[in-house]
Amino acid sequence: MSLRMRIFSGVLSPVVRTAFTHAENPVPMRKGMDLAARLALQILSDDVVKHDAMGLPGIWIRPPMAIPDRVILHFHGGGYVAGSPQTHHRLALRLAMLSRRAVFLPAYRLAPENPAPAAYEDAGTVWEALIASGFSPKEVVIGGDSAGGGLALSLLSKLCEAGTPPAGAYAWSPFTDLTVSSPSHQTNAESDHFFPAERAKVLIDMILGGFPAEDPRVSPMFAAYPNCPPVLLQASDSEILRDDSVRMAEHLRAQGAQVTLSLTKGAPHVWQMFDGVFPEARNSIRETAEFVKAVS
């Protein structure tokens, strides 16, 4: 673990954990993510960011070196209740530059105003629009972080079952089991930098609104993946969602998928967001970019 990551996580951890401990609704989470984005994210020029989003809410990130007929579809995180393409555009730009791919960041509906399966339905709509715009499935890699990683894996199952899988998929610290059955929710309750495990039920109630937690549309841990393309999973060994990735890797491999599971020691949840702050973030984004180039 780098010294910079240790210091940064140590300073930020009590602030974030306190905020989540007292949050009874999504407003503080949304304000916090938006504020962090405004403070940390650089403004991207018009030749990089395009708000033309196939008639759907979202943004394109197209660096000048991007290969024209390849694209990454990235679903932002935020626990299904917060986040937006704007909060994640700097991260997406780094991935776009390292992979030489355009990245599309869709804005899907958020809970609790739009509980499950609204985000899943929007993910399917975005995929259909992307294919209708001229891309073939084998020209697209899908991915996401946290809740967006779980959403990408749920969409992956749908596409595998339809016989139209993407070239590959990746997920960073994905939320894959809303039944909260992963052992790391207990074993990593103290080591997780950001999330108090005891608040999981509050968040899940907001996400589901009565929808079954074991439904594959919200918990890809219970989904089928016939003829699955390669998958990259990244997680921190100290976060409460660690075993959502470990178990997901086992689940995919049991169905014949080629899976790379990468665990980073001591990192905060979705540490890739801190690109430019400590080296582990850039290293993980680079690993993802190399995976994207290898499969598409």
Check if the beta carbon of residue 129 is closer than 8 Å to that of residue 54: yes
pLDDT of residue 48: 59
Helix (H, G, I), strand (E, B) or coil at 144: strand
Integer Cα distance of 275 and 268 in angstroms: 12
Residue 58's domain is classified under what CATH number?
3.40.50.1820
CA contacts within 13 A on the Cβ side of 293 = 15
Euclidean distance between CA atoms 250 and 119, whole angstroms = 25
Locate the DSSP E strands across 47-98: 49-50, 58-61, 71-75
CB 175 within 8 A of CB 204: no
Tell the residue number behind the tokens 């018009």, with chain if given. 46
Q: What is the pLDDT along the chain (296 residues), one digit of tens a residue?
A: 787 777 666 666 665 655 565 556 776 677 767 766 665 555 555 555 565 567 788 999 999 999 999 999 999 999 999 999 989 988 999 999 999 999 999 999 999 999 999 999 999 999 999 999 999 999 999 999 999 999 999 999 999 999 999 999 999 999 999 999 999 999 998 888 777 777 788 899 999 999 999 999 999 999 999 999 999 999 999 999 999 999 999 999 999 999 999 999 999 999 999 898 889 999 999 999 999 999 99
Number of domains in the chain: 1
Q: What pLDDT shows up at residue 240?
A: 96
Give residues with Cβ within 8 angstroms of 279, minimum separation 6: 2, 4, 5
Strands, DSSP E only, in the chain? Answer: 49-50, 58-61, 71-75, 102-106, 140-145, 168-172, 231-236, 259-264
Any idea what the Cα angle at residue 166 is, between residues 161 and 263, rounded to 5°?
100
**Quick check: 105 and 58 in contact, CB under 8 A?**
yes
Q: Read out DSSP for 202-247?
A: HHHHHHHTT--TT-TTT-GGG---TT---EEEEEETTSTTHHHHHH
Q: In this predicted structure, what is the pLDDT of residue 12?
A: 64
Q: What is this structure's pTM?
A: 0.93
- Which residues constitute the domain of residue 284? 3-295
Distances, alpha carbon 112 to alpha carbons 125, 126, 149, 221, in Å: 20, 21, 19, 22
